Structure 1
Amino acid sequence: MMRSLKGRLFIILVAMTGLVWLSATAWIYLNTRAEVERVLDARLMEAARMVSSLIDSQEIDVAIATLDPPTIAADPHSPYERQLTCQIWSLTGSLIGRSDGAPNQRLSDHADGFAERVIDGRAWRVYAVTNTKLGVQVLVGDNLDIRARLVRDVVKGLLLPMVPIVPALAALIWFGVGRGMRPLDQLAEGLERREAEDLHPIAADHAASEIRPVAAALNGLFGRVQEARERERHFLTYAAHELRTPLAGLKTQAEISLKTDQETVRTAALKQIVTAVERTSRLVRQLLDTAEAEAAAAGARSGTVHLSSFLRDTVADQAGRLEATGGRLVFDASLDGVEIVSKEILLALAVRNLVENAINHSPKGGVVVLRWSPENAIVVEDEGAGMPPGEIERATDRFFRGSNRSPVGSGLGLSIAKLCAERLGGALELASRAPRGFRASLRLA
């Protein structure tokens, strides 16, 4: 398959031009042939009538029929000297006269008018006219082989000058395609000269109308790449800040535990260290989850998921945390028998972060429920304090932590779940429950 757009356009244009040229050639040939046939038939008719008129004027004596009839000589210098032949027959069947090259056999046995006949392997088109007054029939025949050669020569004379035009036309088409593709080449050259950091839009106000959609698409891509870079820059800034804070706290609490002689102070400092380590570990894992969600979006394949067993396996390691505080992780009966087609990696990341967020915000003895909604959504509900309506809109922003924040939270869980939901073609819906609690619905496509 040809990969050159210029070459493809050239071939298409040459092929279309050739098709038009061949069609025109066929039309010229057929039209010229028909016109020449009409002219030659008219000449044939006129010649027969002319001979008949000569007989009427007694230029030819038909009183005596001879065994060796005279011939009418043709011009030896004409390339079509034997195209027309003439015979004069008496109505009694005697050959009175014939032209040079005319066969001895009668050209036509038909009455007056046109007829065609093959004599000794040669085809003739004949026009007959009868002079009843003098008792003769004039037959003028046209050699069809010579007639066909005449038609070919006429058509050749019309078309032969066009032959050298074809390569010249092909060269002009190649040149024209090259000139027409020049704006695209200029666009490619401009992009090649750009630095990797240069994401400014391409100026396309004066570009050709065919180039503008390409430029607009590239500008859109540049804009999305720029936005992605800004998000990553902000993400790294926030991540560095969030990591620096617990690490600084770890250092402070470690120094306190080393310097103090009071057991209660040391114990409190160590507890703070444990909390900070848990938060830092969760933050690092969620940063990795974010990167995994971004990478899995393009490469993950969809498969059939048996929802109940899949969810139990996904959050099995988190159930112990909730049970340690007297709580329970409940898998509703609505999950039984549900099968969906989804990307398991993204689905697992979303569910794990939603369940972890629910556990972190659940009170002691709280219950976290996972159920299936008829609206094609996985629902995670907890009995925590919920979230004020004004904060729900920002809940999926990276590193956003609401007023009812968890001490071990990092502000990434819901943003990861939203990212996974979007990559799955769905959406994440959040709402507080009455009288208390929080609901996260992972709506699938």
Structure 2
Amino acid sequence: MAADSGQRSLFGEILDWMLAPLLVIWPISVALTWLVAQGIASKPYDRELGEMARSLGLQVAAEPRSQAAANARSRYALSPEAAALLRADESDTVYYLVQGTRGEFLSGDKELPAPNPDEAVVPWELRFRDDEVSNESVRVAYLWVTPEGNAKGQMLVQVAETLGKRSRLTNEIIKGVILPQFVILPLAVLLVWLALARGIAPLNELQRRIRSRDSSDLSPIDERRIPDEVAPLVHAINDLLQRLDQSLSTQKHFLADAAHQLKTPLAGLRTQAEFAQREIDEGRSSPQELKRSLQQIALSSQRAAHMVNQLLAMARAEDQEHAARRSEINLPEIAMETVRDFVPRALDKRLDLGYEGPDDEHSGLRILGHPILIRELIRNLVDNALLYTPAGGTITVRIVEDPFGQVCVLQVEDSGPGIAEAEREQVFQPFYRALGTNVDGSGLGLAIVREIAQQHEAELTLDDARPRRPGFVEPDGMGPGARFTIRFHAHPVAEPEAGAGPDDAEAARG
């Protein structure tokens, strides 16, 4: 599935997150307003309806109960003036009902329903309920009254009113609250948009400043004119620019040094070729002179090839992605193979090159790393020792395993003149060569060693192989020697399971 290449707008996302709550809250606000408006509209009309019911109750309670029932019904009926007053409301219809102590009808509107019979009867307590009369919703105020002279019986008085006035007042309140919101809401959206546009303006200015910079301008971005929220991002960009500037400066310096170093063997190669060609053209060349010229050409080409190989090794060591691909490595095995590869060269120089440490069959520790880089590290250390150790000297490649299984130590030491303490940091710089030596090297070997060690989080140290003796001159260029020590983090070998054969054990060691 193709990846979505669309970019998200920070402005649009913030605007969405600010407007979305408004669009959700607004319908909730309308519903709450309607509920509150109903309560506000009902209170004055409930108060008026309750006063009517209480007045009717006082009138009913004051009637004597000693007269005949037929005459009693006529007495409990409202007077024509009171009935006219109840019916005077043009908006709503008012109903009333008076029932005797036994629930009999005394006066009013029979269609008005009675309250819930399970309700507790509390004399003179005014109550309200919503009900229906002739399929029309009404608000009912009712109470039980105690007639004079009859403390045991309770009469029910109810007054009901339709909801026309209440609905109109509720609608008026809602209109008064909701209609302004139709003006306020777009205005709020506009103000939010303007505020966001103003808030994003410093980012647009920062973008303009960055886009207007020259591609070679790696100077830090001014952090004084940016919002506090963006300061960490700009600080990180400045840190990246600083590291990029350092990296580019290092690469330029490296390329300049590499070009300078390659210039010498290439110039010698060209000079020897031109000299041989001139001698041939003039007819003065002899086989011996031609042979010497060819030898010089071969030596110059060998130097150039060695330099190119070292440059490639340096680039490979600095490749973070390449170095990140790690596997389990048997360090003693690689060390022994490297020593075997250099034995012919050591014999030619009359050097004693040897290996000390466990063999690959008895090594209980491994390291995690890149096999090619680790092999390159050991080769450069041995090559450096071969270059600086005079004839008759000794070179030892040593593997020391930590009994606690924490580290695996690689040492390469020689019996050469050693490295002065003041120069021990400089020898790891590319193309640096110790003063007073005529060794034909590239100056990259130890720089490659340090880069590979750093890629593997290993500790690299350099010291003398033997104590220095002030005033004592070693014969034939011998000296305290140099010892390079690299401590790798150990990776224990998995123990083979019970019953596993030799092949399984070998597979477990990797």
The two structures have a TM-score, normalised by structure 2, of 0.70
Unaligned runs of 5+ residues in structure 1 are none
State the distance in 1 between where 2:346 and 2:169 align.
104
State the distance in 1 between where 2:457 and 2:32 align.
58
Q: For 1:367-386, what aligned pairs fall within 5 Å after superposition?
A: 367-372=395-400, 374=402, 376=407, 378-383=409-414, 384-386=416-418
* Matching residue of 1:65: 73
* Matching residue of 2:386: 359
Distance verdict in 2 for CA 1:323–1:107, change over 3 Å: same
The code of the aligned residue for 1:291 comes to A
State the distance in 2 between where 1:343 and 1:38 align.
85
Q: Does residue 195 of structure 1 match 2:214?
A: yes
Distance verdict in 2 for CA 1:117–1:10, change over 3 Å: closer
Distance verdict in 2 for CA 1:13–1:298, change over 3 Å: farther
* Matching residue of 1:177: 196
C-alpha contact 1:108 1:139 (8 A) present in aligned 2: no
Q: Paired residues, what number?
A: 436
* Matching residue of 1:439: 483
C-alpha contact 1:254 1:269 (8 A) present in aligned 2: yes
Q: For 1:14-93, what aligned pairs fall within 5 Å after superposition?
A: 14-18=19-23, 42-55=47-60, 64-65=72-73, 74=87, 77-78=90-91, 81-82=92-93, 85-93=95-103
The partner residue of 1:285 within 292, 305, 309 is 309
Superposed displacement of residue 233, structure 1: 1.8
State the distance in 1 between where 2:8 and 2:462 align.
50
RMSD: 4.2
Cα offsets for 1:29-73 (capped at 9, x unmatched): 665566666666555533422332455688xxx95427x978765
The code of the aligned residue for 1:129 comes to L
Compare CA radii of gyration and give the structure with the larger one.
2
3-state SS of the aligned residue for 1:209?
Answer: coil
Distance verdict in 2 for CA 1:88–1:246, change over 3 Å: same
3-state SS of the aligned residue for 2:428?
Answer: coil
The partner residue of 2:425 within 373, 377, 393 is 393
C-alpha contact 1:293 1:349 (8 A) present in aligned 2: no
Distance verdict in 2 for CA 1:289–1:44, change over 3 Å: farther
Q: Does residue 414 of structure 1 match 2:437?
A: no
3-state SS of the aligned residue for 2:73?
Answer: coil
Superposed displacement of residue 390, structure 1: 0.2
Cα offsets for 1:121-146 (capped at 9, x unmatched): 77776443233235743123466999
The partner residue of 1:328 within 333, 346, 353 is 353
Superposed displacement of residue 389, structure 1: 0.4
* Matching residue of 2:114: 106
Worse overlay, 234-243 or 209-218:
209-218
Unaligned runs of 5+ residues in structure 2 are 64-69, 149-153, 468-479, 490-510
C-alpha contact 1:346 1:424 (8 A) present in aligned 2: no
State the distance in 2 between where 1:337 and 1:148 align.
91
The two structures have a TM-score, normalised by structure 1, of 0.79
* Matching residue of 2:145: 131
Cα offsets for 1:342-391 (capped at 9, x unmatched): 34454444344333323333444523314255463552312133211000
Distance verdict in 2 for CA 1:9–1:428, change over 3 Å: farther
3-state SS of the aligned residue for 1:333?
Answer: coil
C-alpha contact 1:32 1:155 (8 A) present in aligned 2: yes
Distance verdict in 2 for CA 1:76–1:312, change over 3 Å: farther
C-alpha contact 1:69 1:97 (8 A) present in aligned 2: yes
State the distance in 2 between where 1:38 and 1:300 align.
81
Distance verdict in 2 for CA 1:3–1:420, change over 3 Å: farther
C-alpha contact 1:108 1:126 (8 A) present in aligned 2: no
* Matching residue of 1:423: 455
C-alpha contact 1:278 1:408 (8 A) present in aligned 2: no
The code of the aligned residue for 1:305 comes to E
Superposed displacement of residue 401, structure 1: 0.8
State the distance in 2 between where 1:150 and 1:76 align.
15
Worse overlay, 238-247 or 20-29:
20-29
The code of the aligned residue for 1:421 comes to A
Cα offsets for 1:287-313 (capped at 9, x unmatched): 11222233x313554332222345556
